[in-house]
């Protein structure tokens, strides 16, 4: 019988160097998209997918994550007193999510961050959701990518990694797959998984994005994984090893992905989301139209 996927691990212990200096003391996973922290979108995707138990991997600089998902008695009392019930509801939404936390002592890489979840996960399949990668946040009707991976697992009983095509010159920022053939309905068998290949050595333009469904055998591999690209323990390298003893599939994501950990990615995420936000969308649209005219005039 297939084991149900119930648990999610959210690595959020990276240094966020692409977003310095903002991320010196502030967790990039807490950067707000209009008015909601990035991480809250990810938790919503997890819950919408049917995940029941969530572990966030943090470090000592990321206290704000634990605080955000804890109650804030003073704030709640104050909002209640002033009968600001709409705001109270928004604040309560964050507190209602039950989370576990563990710290990664040193930023040794994504593979090492996932290894911290070994005891939490036990002997079950689980998902990894990267704390700075948002999917389909402007399309509430889309099937969440995490759910797509879980649906694949029901059929294949195998690890499945989300991928999507990226511009060829950008492949070296990602893990990349060497697919076997064309894939069936967006699901690929994979020959190899390669972390950060040079563009002329990349086996394809299908890059690994921030959602993974993994079987627990990954932990034994991670425990012995030598540092790879960037001298970090790479999850991609461990997945490549796993693929040699049990099948690992890749699921092509067809929706919109937002890389909040990148400065321009963060700006695009904020604009796209704001264009749907009831409180700001009209003003923003007007502003963008005026800005477009100004830019035209300066051509």
Stretches 7-15, 90-98, 137-145, 199-207: which one binds ligand UTP (CB under 6 A)?
7-15
Q: How far apart are CA 223 and CA 213, in angstroms?
A: 18
Q: How far apart are CA 239 and CA 161, in angstroms?
A: 9
Q: Is 11 in the site for ligand UTP (CB under 6 A)?
A: yes
Instruction: Tell me how far, at minimum, the Cβ of 27 lies from ligand UTP, in Å.
Output: 8
Give the burial class of 140: count Cβ atoms within 10 A of its Cβ; 0-12 exposed, 13-18 middle, 19 or more buried: exposed
Ranges within 98-117 binding ligand UTP (CB under 6 A)? 104, 107-110, 112-113
- Dihedral pair phi/psi, residue 213, rounded to 5°: -110, 120
Q: Is 78 in the site for ligand UTP (CB under 6 A)?
A: no
Residue with Cβ nearer ligand UTP (6 or 18): 18
CA-based nearest residue to 69, from 49, 50, 55: 55
Q: Is 118 in the site for ligand UTP (CB under 6 A)?
A: no
Residue with Cβ nearer ligand UTP (37 or 109): 109
Q: How far apart are CA 163 and CA 155, in angstroms?
A: 19
Q: How far apart are CA 251 and CA 72, in angstroms?
A: 40
Instruction: Tell me how far, at minimum, the Cβ of 231 lies from ligand UTP, in Å.
Output: 11
**Of 5, 7, 8, 16, which one interacts with ligand UTP (CB under 6 A)?**
16
Q: What is the DSSP letter of 54?
A: E
Q: How many residues bind ligand UTP (CB under 6 A)?
A: 21
Instruction: Tell me how far, at minimum, the Cβ of 227 lies from ligand UTP, in Å.
Output: 11
Residues 151-190: x/- map of binding to ligand UTP (CB under 6 A)? ----------------------------------------
**Of 57, 145, 207, 218, which one interacts with ligand UTP (CB under 6 A)?**
57
Q: How far apart are CA 222 and CA 231, in angstroms?
A: 15
CA 109 to chain centre: 15
Stretches 8-16, 43-51, 161-169, 220-228: which one binds ligand UTP (CB under 6 A)?
8-16
Q: How far apart are CA 138 and CA 96, in angstroms?
A: 23
Distance of CA 263 to CAs 18, 251, 258, 267, 291, Å? 7, 27, 11, 6, 20
**Of 51, 121, 130, 214, which one interacts with ligand UTP (CB under 6 A)?**
130
Binding site for ligand UTP (CB under 6 A): 11-19, 57, 104, 107-110, 112-113, 130-132, 261
């Amino acid at each position: 019988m297939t084991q149900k996927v119930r648990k999610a691990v959210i690595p959020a212990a990276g240094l966020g160097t692409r977003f310095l200096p903002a991320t010196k003391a502030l967790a990039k996973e807490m950067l707000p998209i209009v008015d909601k922290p990035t991480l809250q979108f990810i938790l919503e995707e997890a819950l919408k997918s049917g995940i029941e138990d969530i572990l966030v991997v943090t470090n000592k600089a990321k206290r704000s994550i634990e605080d955000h998902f804890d109650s804030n008695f003073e704030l709640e009392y104050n909002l209640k007193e002033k009968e600001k019930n709409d705001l109270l509801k928004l604040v309560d939404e964050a507190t209602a999510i039950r989370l576990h936390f563990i710290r990664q002592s040193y930023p040794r890489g994504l593979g090492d961050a996932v290894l911290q979840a070994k005891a939490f996960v036990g002997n079950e399949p689980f998902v990894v959701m990267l704390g700075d990668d948002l999917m389909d946040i402007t399309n509430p009707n889309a099937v969440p990518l995490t759910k797509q991976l879980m649906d694949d697992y029901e059929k294949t009983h195998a690890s499945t990694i989300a991928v999507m095509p990226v511009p060829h010159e950008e492949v070296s920022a990602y893990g990349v797959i060497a697919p076997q053939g064309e894939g069936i309905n967006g699901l690929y068998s994979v020959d190899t998984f390669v972390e950060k290949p040079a563009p002329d050595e990349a086996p394809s333009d299908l890059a690994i994005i921030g959602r993974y469904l993994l079987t627990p055998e990954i932990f034994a591999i991670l425990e012995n994984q030598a540092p790879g690209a960037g001298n970090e323990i790479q999850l991609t390298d461990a997945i490549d090893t796993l693929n040699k003893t049990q099948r690992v599939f890749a699921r092509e994501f067809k929706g919109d992905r937002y890389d909040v950990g990148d400065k321009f990615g963060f700006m695009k995420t904020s604009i796209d989301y704001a264009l749907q936000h009831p409180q700001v969308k009209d003003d923003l649209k007007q502003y963008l139209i005026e800005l477009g005219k100004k830019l035209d005039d300066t051509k």
